[in-house]
Structure 1
Amino acid sequence: MKGMRLYLIGTGILLLLYLAGQYYKPKPTDWSPSYLKEDKIPFGLYVLNKEYQSIFPGTRMEISRLPVYNTLKDKKRKNTNYLIIAGAVRIDELDYKELVQFMKDGNQVFIATFDIGDYLKDTLNLNINSSLNYGKKKSVPINFVNPALKEKNAYVFDKGLGDLYFSRIDTSKAAVLGKNEKGEVNFVRYNFGAGALYVLPNPQLLSNYALLSPEGAAYAAKALSYLPVTETMIWDEHHTKGNLGEESLLRVLFKHDQLRWAYYLSMISLLIFVVFEMKRRQRIIPIIPKLTNSSVDFVRVVGKVYYQQRDNRDIASKKINYLLEFIRTTYRLKTNEIDEELINAVVLKSGENEHDTRQLFATIDEVNKSGRVSDHLLITLNKLIEKFYKQAQ
């Protein structure tokens, strides 16, 4: 026990030292694209969340973590914008139909994503070129098409923030709102009734990293200015956080590298401890005698009693009563009288062969009329009843 105590104390001290070292060491910049409104990392949306009132004054924000279909179904929305900013957007046919009806009612939808999903690609005839290179110092200059929004000097961002563009686009349906200096389209609008769908393939242009620069703030403000000022803005978090309630109990541990590795080390140490103790303290497993099947013995005793008494009429009577009870409960038929009407009803509802069914009821009638039931008659009755049970529906 003394050695085990030292082992546990040593493991605990090492774990505490590791946690302290990880906590106090300089934290590297987290460049992961979360697109969460509460994240202050470069590719979070904290700045946009705090400043959206300056673009949409008086607009009330509504957060939704449900799919588009569940958010919009049977809700007559008016004067509303729908904002989706995520790395990938998965919209199926049901979601798309609700979005179209939502836009036809005079509302607007703004989607900023690298990947619009297969359904939107096929439906809108739109494809995004995903050749993004983070090693580039400067991205391709981009600008708006509208002369009122177009800057004399195009927007240039580092980290390749504006490098994505649409490699396939149906210009008969889509209105081009933005291009890069190569003439490649990177911002489009689709009109649906009184509303519209805006698609931007560069969601990082709306992130903290972009908005903290004057150029990024100007570009984001102009891009979002296509949306009118409405009473409500639905901020979609389904494509970044998932459905409400889909959160692991260990989400806090796995969110941070230090806690995640501390958890792994704890599990590995526990596994080593269990293996070590198993080898040292495993006891002999006692042999437990096999349990006897008392049900089989009971059936044998009952069978011997019936066999010795040789009361075939009692056995036949019980089998007939059980059969009639089965017919009553299964097919909801009255069995007070065994007549032609009952036989026809049993054949119809059970799906049993008519000849076999009539033979069964004829045998039952023979048993009821006989004063003494022979072994042969009892065996015949039993075979017919068992056959009926197996083939009946």
Structure 2
Amino acid sequence: MNKTFKIYAVIFIVVMIIIALFEVNKTESTDWRKNFDIQEKSPFGLFVFNAEIKDLFKNKVKKIEQTPYDFYNQNKEKTHNILVIEHNIDKPSWNKILNEVSNGSDALLIVSEIPKDISDSIGYYDSKISFEDNNVLKLTDTKFQNDFIKLDKFPSGRGFTFIKPNVEVLGKTVEENNSDQANFIKVKLGKGNIYVHCEPLFITNYYLLKPGSVKYAQDVFSYLDDRETIWFVEGNSQASRYFMRFILSNPALKYAWWVLLGGLLLFIFFNAKRKQRIVPIIEPLKNTSVDFVKSIGNLYLQEGDFHDMMAKKAQYFLNKVRMDLLIDTQNLDEEFAKKLHLKTGKPMEMINEAIVLIKKAQDPYASVMKEDLAGMNKVLDEIVKM
């Protein structure tokens, strides 16, 4: 074991000890999130309700993890009860629930919010919210007048307003500084009934474990007939998003997880550093074409043979005309000028000027000046810009 490895090992152990000390001394905090998860033991989970629901419904409850749309497409059920608790349901599934209710089933929806187009179809609007810190939930039926529940932790304060004539109010929220507002209603739809309670907190762990709160919950569920109840719950796909929940909730597993991650990161860092090789710098190949052209150009200028340069320029131009424009360049006559004009779109004056200069370049006895070369170069370059 070399010295470097010992240093790394000591650093790793010290870091893990510091992390462990922070975790041991950390004060456990209560999770007050409204998760409504049947596996959660946090205050606003449904662990207690899930454990007691069989007794509440006399073992006539069936939990379904499919969407209502998929379930009713695959199963034909006789009239039954439908239970939905703070569940994200798509519109086709809502329509399936309404269809089952129309055929004689009863639905109890314990949800804080329903899509407006669905709520409108059953006769009410859900739009009122209060911000009181404390309120009391009561039922309007006189036989339940002594049963109530006090919400003292994060009540939603949600209630129903603009209630239509066909809606029966079964429960209300009583607040100290506000007038009472409906929170539990019944709507007749076809052969069945829809019950909607807009404050799901009353069936969470925190409130069900309070003395006297269970009676209120029993009263709410007593409106459903004694028959099979289908409870639509969140599927396994929702739980799979939190696959680390079990590990992080167990202190021993959590420490092991952090040690594993820390060791893996250190291994990757030091192992990669040790095996890294020097990457040689490879100079890219230089493009010498431009230098070559410049050298040839300087050579011609030093020689001062303008006639030869004009001849080569004319030869290059005529070759480009033959290859690109498919024009015969054997006779630089009026027919050639006309075809070149049509294919390039350049003025005839420019075409004729170019022909004159090309013929002068091809004449070995012509007298050529530097100005002739410059003029020819300009005219031919302008023509080939197509």
The TM-score by the shorter chain falls in which range?
0.5 to 0.7
> Structure 1 CA distance, aligned partners of 2:25 and 2:237?
35
Amino acid at match of 1:146: D
Q: CA RMSD in A?
A: 3.7
Structure 2: which amino acid aligns with 1:6?
Answer: I
AA of the residue aligned to 2:185:
V
The equivalent position to 1:170 in structure 2, one of 157, 163, 185, is 163
Q: Which residue of the partner structure matches residue 358 of structure 1?
A: none
The residue aligned with 2:143 is: 148
Q: Could you give the per-residue CA deviations for residues 185-224 of structure 1, whole angstroms, max 9, x where no partner exists? A: 1111222222222111111101121112233111111111
- Cα distance in 1, alignment partners of residues 164 and 51 from structure 2: 35
Measured in 2, the distance between the counterparts of 1:42 and 1:170 equals 32
Given candidates 159, 166, 189, the residue that maps to 1:192 is 189
Query: Which residue of 2 is the match for residue 236 of structure 1?
Result: 232
* SS in structure 1 at match of 2:212: helix
Could you tell me which residue of structure 2 aligns to residue 126 of structure 1?
A: 125
Give a deviation string over 1:131-178, Cα, whole Å, max 9, x none.
456xx3xx2233212222223x854332144x5232434323422111
Q: Which moved more, 1:64-73 or 1:12-21?
A: 12-21
Equivalent residues of 2:111, 2:198 under 8 A apart:
yes
**Is 1:63 the equivalent of 2:77?**
no
* C-alpha contact (below 8 Å) 1:15/1:262 kept by paired residues: no
Spell out the pairing of 1:82-97 with structure 2 (5 A cutoff). Answer: 82-86=82-86, 89-97=87-95
Q: Percent identity at matched positions?
A: 24
SS in 1 for 2:48: helix
Pick from 103, 106, 114 the counterpart of residue 105 of structure 1: 103
Equivalent-residue separation in structure 2 for 1:258 and 1:119 (angstroms): 49
- Tell me the residue number matched to 2:80: 80
- Note the alpha carbon deviations across 1:250-276, whole angstroms, 9 max, x for none: 453466799779867865775576556
Once the two structures are superposed, residues 326-366 of structure 1 have per-residue CA deviations (whole angstroms, 9 ceiling, x without a partner) of: xxxxxxxxxxxxxxxxxxxxxxxxxxxxxxxxxxxxxxxxx
Closer, same or farther in 2 for the Cα pair 1:54/1:256, shift >3 Å? same
Structure 2 Cα separation of the partners of residues 98 and 8 of structure 1: 62
Partner of 2:15: 14
- Check the 8 A contact 1:38/1:46 in 2, yes or no: yes
Q: Deviations over 1:28-84 (max 9, x none)?
A: 33322232333332222222223334432242x322222121122242212422222
Shift of 1:277: 6.2
How big is each residue's C-alpha offset from its partner over 1:217-259, in whole Å with a ceiling of 9 and x where there is no partner?
A: 11111111111121x3222222xx5647844654534667997
- Distance, in Å, in 2 between the alignment partners of 1:155 and 1:17 is 46
With over 3 angstroms needed to count, the CA separation of the structure-2 counterparts of 1:122 and 1:173, relative to structure 1, is same
Q: Secondary structure at the match of 1:97?
A: helix
> How big is the shift at 1:116?
2.5
In 2, the alpha carbon distance for the partners of 1:245 and 1:158 equals 29
Counterpart residue identity of residue 113, structure 1: V
Q: Is the Cα contact below 8 Å between 1:92 and 1:119 reproduced in 2?
A: no
Amino acid in structure 2 at the alignment position of 1:102: E
The unaligned stretches of length 5 or more in structure 2 are 285-386
- Matched to 1:55, the amino acid is L
Tell whether the 8 Å contact from 1:19 to 1:262 is kept in structure 2 after alignment.
no
Pick closer, same or farther for the CA change 1:285–1:266 going to 2, 3 Å: same
TM-score (norm 1): 0.59
Is the contact made by 2:169 and 2:186 (CA closer than 8 Å) also made in structure 1? yes
Structure 1: unaligned runs, 5 residues or longer: 291-393
Q: Distance between the aligned counterparts of 1:147 and 1:155, measured in 2?
A: 16
Name the residue aligned to 1:29. Answer: 30
User: Equivalent of 1:223, from 216, 220, 223?
Assistant: 220
Instruction: Check 1:221–1:254 CA distance in 2 against 1; reply closer, same or farther (3 A cut).
Output: same
Determine the structure 2 residue equivalent to 1:39. Answer: 40
3-state SS in 2 of match to 1:191: strand
**Residues of 1 paired with 2:20 and 2:102: CA distance?**
55
| Alignment check: 8 A CA contact 1:186 1:200 kept | yes
Q: Secondary structure at the match of 1:73?
A: helix
Q: Which residue is equivalent to 1:326?
A: none
More divergent stretch after superposition (18-27 vs 169-178):
18-27
Secondary structure of 1:156's aligned partner: strand
Whole-angstrom CA distance in 1 between matches of 2:107 and 2:117: 17
Between the aligned partners of 1:227 and 1:9, the Cα distance in structure 2 is 65
State the distance in 2 between where 1:169 and 1:261 align.
54
Contact 1:23–1:258 (8 Å) recurs in 2: no
> 1:3–1:31: structure 2 CA closer, same or farther, 3 Å change rule?
same
Q: Which amino acid aligns with 1:235?
A: W
Aligned to 2:5: 4
Whole-angstrom CA distance in 1 between matches of 2:183 and 2:90: 23
The change in CA–CA distance for 1:130 and 1:123 in structure 2 (over 3 A counts) is: same
